[in-house]
Structure 1
Amino acid sequence: MMMQSLTTEQWLERLHTDGLRPSMQELMYYRTKLPAFARHQRQLPASSQSGALLSKTRGRGMEFDEVRHYQPGDDVRSIDWRVTARTGKAHTKLYREEKDRPVYIVVDLALTQLFGSQLLFKSVQACHLASALAWQTLQRGDKVGGIISNGWLQKEYKPSLQHKSVMHFLRGLLEIHQDSFVRWQQQSAPHVAPLSDSIEHLTHLVKPGSLINLISDFEHLDNSSLEQLARLNTRSSVRTFKLYDPMEQTLPEGYSSQPLSVHDGERQAMVNLNNVRQRRDYQQQATNELTRLSERFKHYRLPMTLVSSAVALEQQWPELR
């Protein structure tokens, strides 16, 4: 059976998901998909600041190795003044080239992400993407770390080459998504700017030469956060993935005289699907908002890739590189 011919129900069964809440089984699913993704790893982007798969050695820095006695010809800028002052003899810091690149996966699970009209909630697709990137990074021999936040809870994971570290990261996704899901069911009041908190924390965490994957719907994104990302992008590589649902862009044509209640985790609205003018105005406003967001990212020279919650991730993967 061709993947394109699968029904929504068949895709849900294939992905081991109900589309509402992720499970460990479905996140582990992407570990088995790495061979299918491998061909995309060999394709480098045209620009060093865009695209999903960058050169493994780009941006590598030097990390501290050891201290030894100063020798004639050593760079005086490498003198360790603390050790020199403590011992009374000049010592030099030695560095070695980093062999593995730190890769950070930052996942925003704000309540606005708990929306979906066809296959998955945006939040579930965000978890799928984070899992796929984590397994791919580990297979490539780079360190995996990241930040997961929903505005109430935040978890930080230091970059590591260990399989168990990826498992800890995946469990963090499940835990914070569950917290978001409960708050969504209870219609909890929205928390302030979870994404800006993660980005602020990221600026103090990331080492030069790292790769940053930022996954969000960017409903809570201010210019200050964009400026911080732009600064990070000058010494590391930043990729952004915007989660969206087709219904956020275009309302379906309806056949009911009763208005449809739509809730995105924070705001609720009543829409009449039979009202052609309302559907047209809705689509125009959504198009304008997406255009403005794209222009803001271009202004700060940040690449943005759209990821639909209505299509299985593996069907979109060629467009995510």
Structure 2
Amino acid sequence: MKIGYFAERSKQLQLAALTLAQGMQAGSFRSHFRGRGIEFDALREYEAGDDIRSIDWNLMARSGKTFVKLYREERDLRLFLIVDISASMDNGGAADIPQQKALEAAALITFAAEHLNSCMGLLVFDGKIARVLQLQRGKNTGVYLLNALEKAAVSAETVRGTALSPALEAAAKLLRQRALVVILSDFKVENFEKELGVLARRHDAAAIRITAPYDESLPAAGVLRFTDPETQVERLLPTSWQDFQQERMRRAAESIQQWQKTCIRCGAYPLVLPHNGNTVKILNQFFLTGRYGVPALYRYPQTDSIP
């Protein structure tokens, strides 16, 4: 991927994001985008008919007078994106690499949140936390965030490994008010459950797993040498052997199912986003339903991501 991806597709992505913004407002996530709670506003003396549950008992004990707490509805959505740009997200420049799908999804969600006048923030990671942009609001905030994401994604200084756990931990410490946290990654890493659980207890966490064309099957081309882009471990794989291909597909399906169960156990909303799936359609359906345990949307017909 090269610099200019978002600039070339900005208008197209922003138009497609209108549909997604409508889905966010109309669907099961609408409470997150219209105000999901109340915040303390002020105190006043108790009046007949007030709810006794709103009495400030501590203040009453100190002052001898009865006061009630007043609240105001919390209206602002806070959207925080956590985006994986590690080496496993890039398969050597193919058109349908997971990294490009992740950036497309990030752009759609960002523009949709911008249509809803939301606060937005970003954390980008590879083998370490590469970039953090705190929550902010403004006319050009979405473009600013996406430009920072694009620069980080094409940087030649990518650190090996996948720092998913540190990224989740950093987000939990950074976000002081409840937010909708969207994690875009291939989740090809272990031992992130604790950090995801902590984050999901305080925020609404959507875990979006990006698949790659080689996750389920490989071209039948004999015995080939493959190198893990993050660990540099090499293996010879018998791609023409039918039993090998079937076992690979079985393990891929099991991995997805196990990952979904892990996310649900941690309190996060899991979604599988296939490399060749219609991003707008899948994200819109996700924000409309938002249910735990939704079956993986794993096999979509080959189609352009943005109609």
Given the two structures, how large is their TM-score scaled by the length of structure 1? 0.71
Pairs within 5 Å for 1:89-238: 97-115=73-91, 119-179=95-155, 182=156, 190-191=160-161, 193-222=162-191, 225-238=192-205
Deviation at 1:260, TM superposition (A): 5.8
RMSD of aligned residue pairs (Cα, Å): 3.3
CA–CA distance in structure 2, aligned partners of residues 153 and 106 of structure 1: 10
Deviation at 1:136, TM superposition (A): 0.5
Unpaired runs of at least 5, structure 2: 47-54, 61-68, 288-307
- 1:60 pairs, out of 22, 37, 58, with 37
SS of 1:238's equivalent in the other structure is strand
Unpaired runs of at least 5, structure 1: 1-18, 46-51, 80-92
Residue identity opposite 2:217 in structure 1? T
2:286 counterpart of 1:306: no
Residue identity opposite 1:229 in structure 2? L
Segment drifting more, 239-248 vs 27-36: 27-36
Percent of aligned pairs with the same residue? 13
CA–CA distance in structure 2, aligned partners of residues 233 and 78 of structure 1: 33
Cα separation, partners in 2 of 1:241 and 1:27, compared to 1, 3 Å = farther
Q: Conserved in 2, the CA contact under 8 Å of 1:118 and 1:310?
A: no
Cα separation, partners in 2 of 1:56 and 1:71, compared to 1, 3 Å = closer
2:27 counterpart of 1:44: yes
Deviation at 1:141, TM superposition (A): 2.1
CA–CA distance in structure 1, aligned partners of residues 227 and 3 of structure 2: 19
Cα separation, partners in 2 of 1:168 and 1:20, compared to 1, 3 Å = closer
SS of 1:141's equivalent in the other structure is coil
Cα separation, partners in 2 of 1:282 and 1:166, compared to 1, 3 Å = same
Q: Conserved in 2, the CA contact under 8 Å of 1:113 and 1:264?
A: no
CA–CA distance in structure 1, aligned partners of residues 84 and 169 of structure 2: 13
Deviation at 1:140, TM superposition (A): 1.2
- 2:210 pairs, out of 223, 243, 251, with 243
CA–CA distance in structure 1, aligned partners of residues 8 and 196 of structure 2: 30
CA–CA distance in structure 2, aligned partners of residues 245 and 167 of structure 1: 27
Given the two structures, how large is their TM-score scaled by the length of structure 2? 0.74
Query: 1:259: which partner in 2?
Result: 224
Number of residue-to-residue matches in the alignment: 271
SS of 1:259's equivalent in the other structure is strand
Query: 2:243: which partner in 1?
Result: 277
Residue identity opposite 1:220 in structure 2? V
SS of 2:214's equivalent in the other structure is helix
CA–CA distance in structure 2, aligned partners of residues 78 and 108 of structure 1: 48
CA–CA distance in structure 1, aligned partners of residues 153 and 76 of structure 2: 30
Q: Conserved in 1, the CA contact under 8 Å of 2:32 and 2:77?
A: no
CA–CA distance in structure 2, aligned partners of residues 150 and 171 of structure 1: 17
